[in-house]
C-alpha cells in the first residue's frame, strides 16, 4: 500500500480547516439536475429544496430540469445549455426519480447527447433517488453511478434514497424536517468532497 508523507498529511489537515479553503469550496460551480421531463415532477421540487439549502450555505446553484429540453439532438438550444451550464459545472447533484426500477431514460439520453469529456470527465457527482414506492431508487442510483464511473466521474459515497416522496413533501414543495436533516448532512459531505 502507498503511504503518504506525514508532513503532507499535516499540511493537508491545516489547509482543510483554513478559511481560504472553505471559500474555494463555495466558489465551485454547482448544478442540480432534475432527472426527468415529467410535468409536475416531485424530483423537480426536491431539486428546488437542494437549491434552497445550498443558498443558505452561500452556494448559488442552478437547477437544470429536463422538462422542455430536446435531449435527442444537438440543437442550438442544447448546445447553449451545454456551453453555459453543463461544461462550467464542477459539481453535479443528480435528483433522479425511480421509473420502472431505475433512473429515467430521458436522463441517459441527455448524457449520451452531450460532449462526454467536456461535460462530465473528472468532475464530481452527488446522487439522490426519489420514489413513491419503498426503494427510493436505490437500484437507479447504482445504475447511474456505474455509468458515471465509466465516464471517469467521482461519485460521492452518500447516495440518499428518498422513498414515499408523496408523504414527505407538502403542497408548497417543502420537505419534512427529518429528510431536510439528512439532505443537510449529505450536502455538507459533498461540499467538502
Ligand X SMILES: Cc1cc2nc3c(=O)[nH]c(=O)nc-3n(C[C@H](O)[C@H](O)[C@H](O)COP(=O)(O)O)c2cc1C
Q: Which residues bind ligand X (CB under 6 A)?
A: 36, 38, 41-43, 97-101, 130-133, 135, 165
Q: Which is nearer to ligand X, 19 or 171 (CB)?
A: 171
Can you read off the three cell numbers belonging to residue 65? 430540469
Closer CB to ligand X, 88 or 101, in the complex = 101
Quick one: 44 or 82, whose CB is closer to ligand X? 44
Instruction: Quickly count helices (H) and strands (E) in the chain.
Output: 9, 6
Least distance to ligand X from the beta carbon of 48, Å?
12
CB 138 to ligand X: min, Å: 10
CB of 192: closest distance to ligand X in angstroms? 28
Cβ distance to ligand X smaller for residue 42 or 145: 42
User: Cα–Cα distances in Å, from 109 out to 4, 73, 96, 187?
Assistant: 41, 9, 14, 27
Residues 6+ apart with CB under 8 A from 185: 158
Q: How far is the CB of 162 from ligand X (least distance, A)?
A: 9
Angle between helices 138-150 and 105-113 (to 10 degrees): 10
Tally of CA atoms within 13 A in the half-sphere of 183 that contains its CB: 26
Nearer to ligand X, 36 or 128 (CB): 36
Q: What is the DSSP letter of 123?
A: -
Q: Shortest gap between Cβ of 92 and ligand X (angstroms)?
A: 17
Q: Which residue is nearest to ligand X (CB)?
A: 133
Q: Which three cell numbers stand for residue 164?
A: 414515499
Instruction: Round to whole Å and give the CA distance between 179 and 36.
Output: 21
Amino acid at each position: 500500500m502507498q503511504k503518504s508523507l506525514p508532513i503532507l498529511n499535516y499540511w493537508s489537515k491545516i489547509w482543510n480547516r483554513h478559511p481560504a479553503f472553505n471559500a474555494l469550496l463555495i466558489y465551485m460551480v454547482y448544478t442540480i439536475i432534475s432527472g426527468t421531463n415529467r410535468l409536475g415532477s416531485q424530483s423537480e421540487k426536491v431539486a428546488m429544496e437542494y437549491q434552497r439549502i445550498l443558498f443558505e450555505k452561500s452556494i448559488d446553484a442552478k437547477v437544470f430540469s429536463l422538462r422542455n429540453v430536446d435531449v435527442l439532438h444537438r440543437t442550438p438550444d442544447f448546445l447553449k445549455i451545454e456551453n453555459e451550464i453543463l461544461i462550467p459545472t464542477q459539481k453535479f447533484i443528480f435528483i433522479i426519480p425511480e421509473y420502472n426500477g431505475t433512473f429515467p431514460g430521458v436522463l441517459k439520453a441527455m448524457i449520451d447527447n452531450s460532449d462526454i469529456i467536456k461535460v462530465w470527465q473528472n468532475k464530481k457527482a452527488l446522487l439522490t433517488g426519489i420514489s413513491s414506492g419503498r426503494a427510493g431508487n436505490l437500484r437507479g442510483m447504482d445504475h447511474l453511478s456505474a455509468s458515471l464511473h465509466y465516464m471517469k466521474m467521482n461519485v460521492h459515497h452518500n447516495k440518499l434514497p428518498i422513498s414515499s416522496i408523496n408523504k414527505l413533501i407538502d403542497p408548497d414543495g417543502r420537505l419534512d424536517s427529518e429528510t431536510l436533516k439528512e439532505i443537510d448532512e449529505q450536502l455538507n459531505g459533498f461540499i467538502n468532497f
